[in-house]
Amino acid sequence: MPISRVTLLLNLTQTLARLHVFLQPSETLILIERMVALIESNLEEMLEIETLTGLLFHLICSQIPERQRRTCLSYSAYRFIEREFPRELQLCLQTIREANQQLAYPIPDEEAYNILAILKQVDIFIEVGDYSLASR
């Protein structure tokens, strides 16, 4: 039986509390959950639980200072996302900027590309000149 959204968030909160990753994991997850709700609202789609799980883990890691880093997408993946999902990219950038007003560690704009790669299942290791995904 698939896990529910509520159960997923509860389990994440409990796990983060046990690991002492955040001082107040429930507050951090509330902010991240709001960000996910903004993404879903802006993109006008509800995320499947598998996609939601990946996105939540990615956003949680973005709030651990020592885990913050720049995106690791290939140059071609950047260009692919810009070409194929310009509207969604702008909406993700807007969402990040709104969320940053409340997050302890601001998420860099470059994370919009990672978020879209997760949501749209983009191959992040596309090599320069290899646009085989464009034919899909």
Average the pLDDT over 15-44 and give the result: 81
Note the pLDDT of residue 16. Answer: 78
Which tokens in the block code for residue 118? 């997760």
Q: How confident is the model at residue 72 (pLDDT cuts 50, 70, 90)?
A: low
Three-state SS across 68-126? Answer: CCCCCCCHHHHHHHHHHCHHHHHHHHHHHHHHCCCCCCCCCCCHHHHHHHHHHCCCCCC
| Whether the Cβ atoms of residue 11 and residue 35 lie closer than 8 Å to each other | no
**Is-contact 129 76, C-beta < 8 A?**
yes
Say whether pLDDT at 71 is over 60.
no
Question: Residue 100 — pLDDT band, cuts 50, 70, 90?
Answer: confident
Residue-wise pLDDT for 5-29, tens only, equals 889 888 888 887 877 666 677 777 8
pLDDT value of position 82: 94
Smallest CA-to-CA distance from 47 within 123, 111, 96, 119 is with: 119
